[in-house]
Structure formats: structure tokens, C-alpha cells
Amino acid sequence: MNAFKLWYHKLGSPPYFYVFAGYIQPWLWTIALALAAAGLYGGLVLAPPDYQQGDAFRIIFVHVPAAWMSLFVYGVMAVSAFIAVVWRPKMAEVLAMESASIGAAFTLIALVTGSLWGRPTWGTYWTWDARLTSELVLLFIYLGVIGLYHAFEDPRQGARAASFLAVVGAVNLPIVHYSVVWWNTLHQGTTVRYFGPSSIAPSMLWPLLAMTIAAKFYYGASLMGRARVSLLSLERGKDWVAEIVRKEPAHG
């Protein structure tokens, strides 16, 4: 408990976090790139074509990690947004707001790769299916949070307002998901089912896992980079920032 408190207070202090993030960032990058390289090789070269879908299934190695990340990042964002609303530490605001942009990027990827995958498998880029629709709604929530953040002139005020929205949106997310499921069963739609995850062979599974973990590490790396910049701009009156700016090479 005490160790946790110490850690919390240390990481909650912007100058300390800045240094810490700068320290772990290269490690995160290295792991992410290595895993991605392995996953790509395994997914694009080693794995045999699917007996039903041919080579189209290879989209899975980008689609599924992105889709999972879109939800995972939202979770992280919602937790730190909640902390930001209740206790107002600056670090929680920063992490929530920077997560939103990354999450939106993953959601966009999931949507686009999904619809690119849908064309060969379902015969259409878009259909009003439950999962597709709720992913679209998720993108709107992310965009709402980002938009609200930037709409305020004072970034801390914007962060507080947007965090509030992120928390409210988190409540909404399961509601959207299930309502969309029920909605589809209410009317008899022309929904196409996904193929079951059980049919995944080990030769496909390990590249998928590699890509998924790579995406998580990418998220960490990108978040650290973003948080560092955000801290510099938020704390621009403070001496530690002046110190860092003085040390930084002229166009870093």
C-alpha cells in the first residue's frame, strides 16, 4: 500500500513522469516493432491460405488487433478520465486525453479494415450489423471526446469536460452494444455471422497474438510520447520545462 502510494505520487508529478516516460519509451518501441515484424512474417508468409476465404483472411492480423485495441484503449481512457473528474490530478487528465486520439485511430483502422474484409466475404463494404454499428458509434464517442477537449481554450478545463463525457460514454457503450444486438434480433435482418474463433488454426493464432501484443506496446509507446509533449505544453511556465527546453537540440 505504501509502495503504491509512493509510486502514485511520484508518477503523478509531471517532471518525474516526463523522465520516466522518456526512459521506458524506447523499450516499448523495440518490443512493439519486434513483435509486429514477427507477426507480419507469420501472418503474411507462413500461415497457409484459409480453405474458405483464401488469402482474404489475412486481414485478420490487422483487423482484430485494431478492433480489440479500440475497446481496450477506451477502457484505459475511461478509468483515467474517472480519476481526472473525481480527484483532478493533472496526469490522469493528460493520459485520458492522449488515449482518446490513439483510440480513435485504432477504431478507424478497425472500421476500414473491417469493411475491406467485408467486401470479399459478405459482398458489401457496409451493412447495418450490430457489431459494425456499435463500432461506428464508438468512433463517434471518441471524436466527441477529442472535439470537446479542443473546443475549450483552457486545456485543463477542456480535459475536465471531456473526461466527464468519456465517463458518461463508458456507461453508454454496453447499452449501445446490447441494444444493437437486440435490435437486430427484433427485426429479421440479413445479418451475416462471423466465422467462429474456434476455427482458428495455431499457425494463424500465434501471429494474431503477436500482432495483438505489438499493438498494446505500440499504444504504450505512443501514449508516452504524447504525454511528454502534452506535459511540456501544459507546464510551460514551470522551471523544469525551461530546463528541458534548454537541453533539447534546436529542432528535436
Question: Can you give the binding site for ligand HEM, defined by CB under 6 A?
Answer: 60, 63-64, 67-68, 110-111, 114-115, 117-118, 121-122, 131-132, 135, 194, 197
CB of 66 to other proteins, least distance (A): 6
In sequence order, the 6+-apart residues with CB closer than 8 A to the CB of 41 are 207
Residue closer to other proteins (CB basis): 91 or 109 = 109
- In the set 14, 42, 169, 207, which binds other proteins (CB under 8 A)? 169
How crowded is residue 144: how many other Cβ atoms within 10 Å of its Cβ?
16
> Binding of other proteins at residue 62 (CB under 8 A)?
yes
DSSP 70-123: HHHHHHHHHHHHHHHHHH--HHHHHHHHHHHHHHHHHHHHHHHHHHHHHHHHHS
Residue 68 partner contact from ligand HEM, other proteins, none using kind-dependent CB cut-offs of 5 to 8 Å:
ligand HEM
| Binding mask of the shown chain, residues 7 to 46, with x at each position contacting other proteins by CB under 8 A | -------------------------------------xx-
Closest contact distance (angstroms) between CB of 5 and ligand HEM is 34
Q: Using the rule CB under 8 A, which residue among 105, 170, 200, 209 binds other proteins?
A: 105
Amino acid at 245: V
* Among the listed residues 6, 46, 175, 201, the single contact to other proteins using CB under 8 A: 175
**Tell me, what amino acid is at 109?**
I
Taking the least distance from each CB to ligand HEM, the nearer of 30 and 190 is 190
Q: How far apart are CA 20 and CA 221, in angstroms?
A: 12
From the list ligand HEM, other proteins, none, partner contacted by residue 185 (C-beta under 5 to 8 A by kind): none
Joined together, the cell numbers standing for residue 207 give: 501471429
Grid look-up 427484433 returns 186
Q: How far is the CB of 52 from other proteins (least distance, A)?
A: 12
CA of residue 60 relative to chain centroid, distance:
17
Q: In angstroms, rounded to a whole number, what is the distance separating the alpha carbons of residues 177 and 182?
A: 9
| Main-chain dihedrals φ then ψ at residue 248, nearest 5 degrees | -65, 140
56 binds other proteins (CB under 8 A): yes
For 121-135, give the DSSP string.
HHS-S----HHHHHH
Q: Which does 132 bind (CB under 5 to 8 A by kind): ligand HEM, other proteins, none?
A: ligand HEM
Given the complex with other proteins, which of 7 and 203 has the nearer CB atom?
A: 203
Annotate each residue in 200-219 with x if it binds other proteins (CB under 8 A) or - if it does not, as one string: ------------------x-
Whether the Cβ atoms of residue 183 and residue 39 lie closer than 8 Å to each other: no
